[in-house]
């Protein structure tokens, strides 16, 4: 068939039929646009609803908050004066400068580290290991948030106390800024794997009171121990940690509470105690605890890093002994201080407690 014949045949088609075909093609295109547009709208609606569900159902973690133990005073980002303790110009302490506990959702553990002074950690529920005066340690927390209140960290400013007690001509106003300040770093590890690093800043005021504040803290990849940059601080921390580990794990230099079970002598504060002198010391301790409700299983002779180690009026260093006390049925250690002015003929209890 010739091209001219084909075109002529198309031209013979009814105009009304051609119009219906054209309109039908437009209708199909419109319906396709509506179909795919509706599908896209539904998909967006589904995604939006899913996003809202995720947001509304996601757990909202409470902030990590630090409170002073005993007063429940919240330690804020601005300086808060602690009401639990103060220090005099002669180094005498009234109360405890800083004891605190940490509250938050889902805390797995916290790594604590102190730059200048010492810290202790005590779990009053006795479910976790407690830590003696050290530079750094880790406290386990766990899922039961009700326990957090009873996990108590204490800041022990022994170096500051000794500075004032050993130098009669030095008062608080004579201390350097570095000596009056300290910082405790907390690496807070949550159960969901998130880590938050915080700092508790401590400063001694001229009136002898201590002020604290809490802030976020940026730390290097070395972790919480990065605060101990100074070699002397690091060496001191290592020595103290070894002493704490030795004291906790093996009970080195421990003695049974029975006064008849004495040793051949022991060195303390540069003085060599004879068997008879040590026996009189232990008898004085036994007599003290017989008057209390505490049941004692044994004692461990300590050095000056004990939490209650300080200068005692009228006594030289070699006239004071420090003991860690193991109380029956309790993992929490007590401490007792014994003094003597007559070569341990008469022994006096100078201090006792946690």
CB-based contact 199:65 (threshold 8 Å): no
CB-based contact 113:224 (threshold 8 Å): yes
Q: Among 95-109, 292-306, 310-324, 331-345, name the one with the lowest average pLDDT.
A: 292-306
310 three-state secondary structure: coil
Q: Among 46-50, 130-134, 219-223, 345-349, name the one with the lowest average pLDDT.
A: 219-223
pLDDT higher than 90, residue 108 = yes
Hey, where are the domains in the chain?
Answer: 3-57, 65-229, 254-353
180-220 pLDDT, tens per residue? 999 999 999 999 989 999 999 999 999 999 999 999 887 55
pLDDT higher than 80, residue 284 = yes
Q: Among 70-79, 80-89, 244-253, name the one with the lowest average pLDDT.
A: 244-253
pLDDT higher than 60, residue 10 = no
Hey, what are 130's tokens? 């407690």
Hey, what are 112's tokens? 């604590």
Which one, of 137, 104, 116, lies nearest residue 236 by Cα?
116
CB-based contact 199:214 (threshold 8 Å): yes
Residue 343: which residues within 8 A CB-CB, separation 6 or more?
277
* Phi (first) and psi of residue 269, to 5 degrees: 55, 35
* Phi (first) and psi of residue 272, to 5 degrees: -90, 110
Residue of higher predicted confidence among 112 and 217: 112
Beta bridge partners of 2: none
Query: What pLDDT band is residue 305 in, cutting at 50, 70 and 90?
Result: low
Query: What pLDDT band is residue 32 in, cutting at 50, 70 and 90?
Result: low
Residue of higher predicted confidence among 40 and 113: 113
Q: Among 18-32, 115-129, 315-329, name the one with the lowest average pLDDT.
A: 18-32
Query: What pLDDT band is residue 30 in, cutting at 50, 70 and 90?
Result: low
Whole-model pTM above 0.75?
no
pLDDT higher than 90, residue 104 = yes
Residue of higher predicted confidence among 257 and 21: 21
**223-238: average pLDDT:** 42
Which one, of 104, 106, 111, 109, lies nearest residue 137 by Cα?
111
C-alpha 315: how far from chain center: 35
CB-based contact 151:104 (threshold 8 Å): no
The whole-number pLDDT of residue 180 equals: 93
């Amino acid at each position: 068939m010739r091209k001219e014949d084909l075109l002529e045949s198309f031209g013979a088609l009814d105009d009304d039929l051609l119009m219906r075909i054209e309109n039908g093609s437009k209708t199909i295109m419109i319906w396709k646009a509506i179909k795919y547009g509706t599908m896209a709208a539904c998909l967006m609606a589904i995604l939006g609803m899913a996003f809202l569900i995720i947001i509304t159902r996601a757990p909202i973690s409470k902030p990590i908050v630090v409170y002073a133990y005993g007063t429940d005073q919240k330690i804020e980002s601005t300086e808060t004066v602690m009401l639990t303790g103060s220090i005099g110009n002669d180094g005498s302490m009234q109360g405890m400068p800083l004891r605190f506990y940490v509250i938050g959702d889902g805390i797995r553990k916290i790594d604590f580290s102190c730059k200048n002074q010492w810290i202790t950690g005590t779990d009053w529920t006795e479910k976790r290991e407690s830590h003696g005066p050290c530079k750094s340690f880790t406290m386990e927390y766990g899922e039961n948030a009700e326990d957090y209140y009873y996990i108590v960290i204490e800041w022990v400013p022994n170096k500051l106390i000794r500075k004032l007690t050993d130098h009669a001509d030095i008062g608080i106003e004579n201390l350097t800024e570095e000596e009056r300040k300290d910082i405790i770093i907390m690496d807070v590890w949550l159960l969901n794997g998130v880590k938050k690093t915080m700092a508790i800043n401590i400063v001694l005021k001229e009136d002898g009171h201590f002020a604290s504040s809490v802030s976020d803290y940026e730390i290097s990849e070395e972790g919480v121990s990065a605060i101990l940059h100074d070699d002397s601080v690091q060496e001191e921390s290592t020595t103290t940690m070894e002493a704490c580990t030795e004291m906790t794990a093996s009970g080195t230099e421990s003695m049974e509470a029975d006064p008849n079970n004495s040793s051949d002598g022991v060195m303390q504060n540069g003085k060599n105690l004879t068997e008879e002198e040590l026996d009189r010391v232990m008898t004085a301790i036994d007599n003290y605890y017989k008057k209390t409700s505490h049941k004692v299983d044994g004692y461990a002779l300590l050095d000056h890093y004990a939490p209650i180690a300080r200068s005692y009026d009228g006594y030289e260093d070699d006239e004071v002994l420090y003991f860690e006390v193991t109380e029956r049925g309790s993992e929490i250690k007590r401490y007792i201080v014994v003094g003597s002015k007559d070569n341990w003929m008469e022994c006096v209890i100078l201090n006792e407690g946690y």
